[in-house]
Amino acid sequence: MNLKIAVLPGDGIGPEIISQAVKVLEAIAQKYKHNFIFTNALVGAGAIDKTGNPLPEDTLQVCKNADAILFGTVGDPKYNDLKIENRPEQGLLKLRKRLGLFADIRPIATYKPLIHKSPIKEKVIKNTDFIIYRELSSGIYYGEKKVSEDGNSASDTCSYTAKEIDRIAHLAFKAAKSRRKKLTLVDKSNVLETSRLWRKRVKKIAEDYPDVKVFFLHIDLATMQLIINPRKFDVILTENLFGDILSDEASVISGSIGLSASASIGENSVLFEPVHGSYPKYKGKNVANPLATILSAAMLLEHFNLHEEGDAIRNAVEKSIELNITTPDLNTTRKFAHTSDVGKFISDYIIDKKSVLYYIENISLGQSTII
């Protein structure tokens, strides 16, 4: 398959983790005879430095011309004092808006060897498997913002239309239908008008999916249920801000936010990015976990029905975890792996499983001839 992929590394640890995902996609292209063409573009603080704009027009064009976008992270503390509309994060928020990326799919799974890494008890999280459908291009993120002249009052508006709710709700119901047939709408319908509209629309749409059981949960209770009873969830459908919060919270179940991948879907564009932020403190140290970005690359392939290829990445990721070839967030021993080691292991494993395992075994038995 020919795929044009726009690569937007962004800020902080973004460039380090993105290059691992690109390395892994190159291994897939080599092994499965695909032709992936990567085009890099500026976004976030790096784009402000060079062009004064967190989302330059050129970048938008590169994204529009691509079949898919692979995104790193944005955000830099040196721009903390900028107005909201000029901050590096606008590179991502404007991209979502301009490309109409309305549905953000954020799956949460557990990995056996990591189950003890979570601060939550094993018996609670074992076999957890749910997916968050977060509305991504509306709500309080995009409503009118105001600050009074004296700076002593401010407001953000949250608004939704039935159309904006319906399009993501249909995607979430379809996902539930192909999974365990449970959909939970998370809202705050005892306080917010927008939440009441979400409930009304979801009840209506539910009529089209009679085999899907629908639950309604307020966000405050949902944050608690997610920790004490995560197995009860299958598909969670929610608005933009609640989805942002829930997806970070949910990553605790997997053992690290460095494992949470995402796919943002629009009418004509698709973007894949890790759920975590730019972690400026670790920038350039080669210790950030690249797995969330590598798993986002797997979601990219699966979006184009390259399921065998997606599985090859997932198997390699699981192997790296099993062999403890992991970064310090997952590996507190002195033998932790660096970002680039993890990327190298995964891409080598994809290309030639046997030789990689042979090499690793010999090293661990002290038989390596490499000094």
For residues 257-286, which are near ligand IPM according to CB under 6 A? 275
Annotated active-site residue in 141, 160, 279, 282: 141
Q: Are 292 and 261 in contact (CB under 8 A)?
A: yes
Binding of residue 89 to ligand IPM (CB under 6 A): yes
What's the token pair of residue 65?
């011309």
Give the residue at shortest CB distance from Mg ion: 244
Q: Are 339 and 328 in contact (CB under 8 A)?
A: no
Examine the residue annotation and report whether 141 is marked as an active-site residue of this protein: yes
Binding of residue 235 to ligand IPM (CB under 6 A): no
Of 8, 27, 62, 92, the one binding ligand IPM (CB under 6 A) is 92
What one-character DSSP code corresponds to residue 369?
Answer: S
Of 76, 135, 164, 244, the one binding Mg ion (CB under 5 A) is 244
Binding of residue 89 to Mg ion (CB under 5 A): no
Options 63-71, 152-160, 228-236, 239-247: segment touching Mg ion (CB under 5 A): 239-247
CA distance 301 to 154: 43
CA distance 296 to 301: 9
Options 28-36, 88-96, 169-177, 216-224: segment touching ligand IPM (CB under 6 A): 88-96
Give the residue at shortest CB distance from ligand IPM: 89
Question: How distant, in Å, are the alpha carbons of 215, 219, 233, 262, 362 from that of 185?
Answer: 6, 9, 11, 19, 51
CA distance 64 to 68: 9
What one-character DSSP code corresponds to residue 34?
Answer: -
Strands (DSSP E) found in 16-170? 35-40, 68-73, 101-109, 129-135, 145-147, 154-156
The three-point CA angle 319-320-323 to 5° equals 85
Examine the residue annotation and report whether 244 is marked as an active-site residue of this protein: yes
Annotated active-site residue in 244, 279, 344, 349: 244
Binding of residue 244 to ligand IPM (CB under 6 A): yes
Question: Exposed/middle/buried for 177, CB within 10 Å: 0-12, 13-18, 19+?
Answer: middle
| Longest Cα–Cα distance in the chain | 71
Binding of residue 273 to Mg ion (CB under 5 A): no
> Would you say 257 or 356 has its CB closer to Mg ion?
257
Annotated active-site residue in 79, 248, 341, 353: 248
Q: Look-up: residue for tokens 């290059």? A: 19
Binding of residue 140 to ligand IPM (CB under 6 A): no
237 binds, among Mg ion, ligand IPM, none (CB under 5 to 8 A by kind): none
By DSSP bridging, strand 270-274 and strand 68-73 are parallel
Options 30-38, 89-97, 156-164, 334-342: segment touching ligand IPM (CB under 6 A): 89-97
Examine the residue annotation and report whether 182 is marked as an active-site residue of this protein: no
As measured in angstroms, the least distance from the Cβ of 329 to ligand IPM is 17
Examine the residue annotation and report whether 220 is marked as an active-site residue of this protein: yes
> Would you say 244 or 329 has its CB closer to ligand IPM?
244
Question: How distant, in Å, are the alpha carbons of 90, 97, 123, 193, 208 from that of 166?
Answer: 26, 17, 36, 16, 12
As measured in angstroms, the least distance from the Cβ of 2 to Mg ion is 32
89 binds, among ligand IPM, Mg ion, none (CB under 5 to 8 A by kind): ligand IPM
What's the token pair of residue 243?
């989805």
> Would you say 89 or 234 has its CB closer to ligand IPM?
89
Strands (DSSP E) found in 203-254? 213-218, 235-238
Contact residues: Mg ion, CB under 5 A: 244
Residues interacting with ligand IPM, by CB under 6 A? 74-75, 89, 92-93, 244, 275
Give the residue numbers annotated as catalytic, written as ranges: 141, 188, 220, 244, 248
